[in-house]
Structure 1
Amino acid sequence: MNIAYWIVAGLLALFYLYSGAVKAIRDRDRLRPMMAWVDRMPMPAVRALGAVEILGAAGLILPPLTGIAPWLALAAAIGFVLLQIGAVAVHLTGEDRQITLNVGLIAMTALVIWPATTWL
Structure 2
Amino acid sequence: MNIALWICAGLLAAVALFGGLTKIVVPKEKLAAAPGGGWTGDATATFVKTLGALEVLAALGLTLPAVLDIAPFMVPVTAVCWILLMIGAMITHLRHGDRAALIANVLYLALALFIAVGRFWLHPF
TM-score bracket for this pair, using the shorter chain length: over 0.9
**2-structure distance, mates of 1:41, 1:26:** 14
Q: Is the 8 A contact 2:86 2:105 kept in 1?
A: yes
Cα deviation for residue 95 of structure 1 reads 3.6
Q: How does 1:35-50 map to 2 (within 5 A)?
A: 35-50=37-52
1:28 matched to 2:28: yes
Q: Could you report, residue by residue, the CA deviation over 1:69-101 in whole angstroms, capped at 9, with x for unpaired residues?
A: 111111110010000000011111124233111
Cα deviation for residue 29 of structure 1 reads 2.2
- Structure 1 match to 2:119: 116
TM-score (norm 2): 0.90
Give the letter aligned to residue 106 of structure 2.
V
Structure 2: state its 5+ residue gaps: none
- Structure 2 match to 1:52: 54
Alpha-carbon RMSD across the aligned residues, in angstroms, is: 1.1
- Structure 2 match to 1:96: 98
1:7 matched to 2:10: no
**1-structure distance, mates of 2:93, 2:104:** 11
Cα deviation for residue 104 of structure 1 reads 0.9
Give the letter aligned to residue 98 of structure 2.
D
SS in 1 for 2:99: coil
Structure 1: state its 5+ residue gaps: none
Cα deviation for residue 47 of structure 1 reads 0.5
- Structure 2 match to 1:71: 73
